[in-house]
Structures are given as C-alpha cells and as structure tokens.
Amino acid sequence: MTLSPGLRKFALAAHLTFSVGWIGAVAAYIAFDVSAATSHHDEALRTAYLAMESIARSVIVPLALASLLTGLLVSLGTKWGLFRHYWVLISFVLTVIATVVLLVETRVISSLADTAADPTTSSQDLQSMGSTLAHSIGGILVLLVILVLNVYKPQGLTRYGWRKQEKERTQREHLAP
C-alpha cells in the first residue's frame, strides 16, 4: 500500500503533531509529578494528583494512541516500510512499549488521584503516596530516543529490507533497455 503524495503529507503532518504533542503533554505531566514528589502542602498534592490524572487520561493517552496509529499508517504507506529499516522498526516497537506502559500506569495514576480526591485522606497519607516520577522521566526519555531515531534515520536495512531492495534492483535491471 502506497499513499498518494497528498495523503502521505497529511498523514505525516498528523503523525508529527500527535508525536510532538505527546512529548509536550508528558513534559506538563512531569511538572505536576515533580510537585507531587516534592510538595508538603496537602492542597498542592491533591491538585497535582488530580491534574496528573486529567492530563494522562484526556491528553497523553489519546496522543499516544493517535501517534501509534498514524506512525503505523506512515510506515506502511511510504517507501520506508515498517520492516525495511531498523530505525523504523525500533521506533515502532518503542512506541508500542511506551503506549502499553502508559496504559498500565494510568491505573496507578487513577488510584493516586482517587485517594487524593477523597476528603477523608489524612495529611500523612497524602504525604506518603509517592509519585510516578520514575515512569514519567523514563517515558519522556523513550519518546526522545524515538524522536532522535526519526530525525537522524540511521542506516541499516533489516533482512527483509535487503531482500526487498535486491528484488527491486533485479526488477529494474530486467526492465532496463
């Protein structure tokens, strides 16, 4: 399947928008996560946990899913292919892993937000809830690795890519006068 030039550009623009948005949303999430990890004020903690859940569910998860789907569309609909180049395959696998970890982590985030939203939660319990900062920082690092791979596109064909390239070269040679 090859996308028409107009559709390819639209899909690529959508993919870039969703991917960069995902990184930006995680950066905003990290700001609240740092607040949750360092604050000693009950209301600041409650606010941070509730904001983290809102950002995760309403922004980060939809952007992650949209980035995953548009990345798949772009890879399958262009010359790069999903299985031809290592950088595309690694980017896709890392995106799948990041999305799965995110979906699992949203349960933890929701649990923290539910506890923070409960007016009967004691100050001591709020202070000892912890944060998701390690996951947040790990997540943004993975997203930045994916970004670097997609910008620099390191050379290296997979075995499938080599076979496909050889087949195309052979076909061109047979068609040449």
pLDDT at 13: 97
51 vs 69: CA distance, rounded Å: 26
Is residue 176 scored above 80 in pLDDT?
A: no
By CB atoms closer than 10 A (0-12, 13-18, 19+), residue 174 is exposed
pTM over 0.95: no
Burial 40-52 (b: 16+ CB within 10 A, else e): eebeebbbbbbbb
pLDDT at 111: 96
Q: Look up residue 131 and give its amino acid.
A: S
pLDDT at 168: 87
Handedness of CA 117, 122, 125, 130 (dihedral sign): positive
pLDDT at 130: 86
Q: Look up residue 137 and give its amino acid.
A: I
Q: How confident is the model at residue 172 (pLDDT cuts 50, 70, 90)?
A: confident
Q: Which residue has the tokens 């606010």?
A: 47
Is residue 78 scored above 90 in pLDDT?
A: no
Local structure of residue 56 (DSSP, 8 states): I
* Cα 52–chain centre separation: 17
Q: CA nearest 33: which of 105, 107, 101, 132?
A: 132
Is residue 142 scored above 90 in pLDDT?
A: yes
Question: Average pLDDT, whole number, for the chain?
Answer: 94
The pLDDT tens digits for 107-136 are: 999 999 999 999 999 999 999 998 899 999
Cα–Cα distances in Å, from 149 out to 22, 29, 54, 154, 156? 16, 24, 30, 7, 12
Cα–Cα distances in Å, from 91 out to 1, 31, 117, 147, 151? 20, 26, 37, 8, 11
- Interior angle at CA 50, CA 48 and CA 54, nearest 5: 115
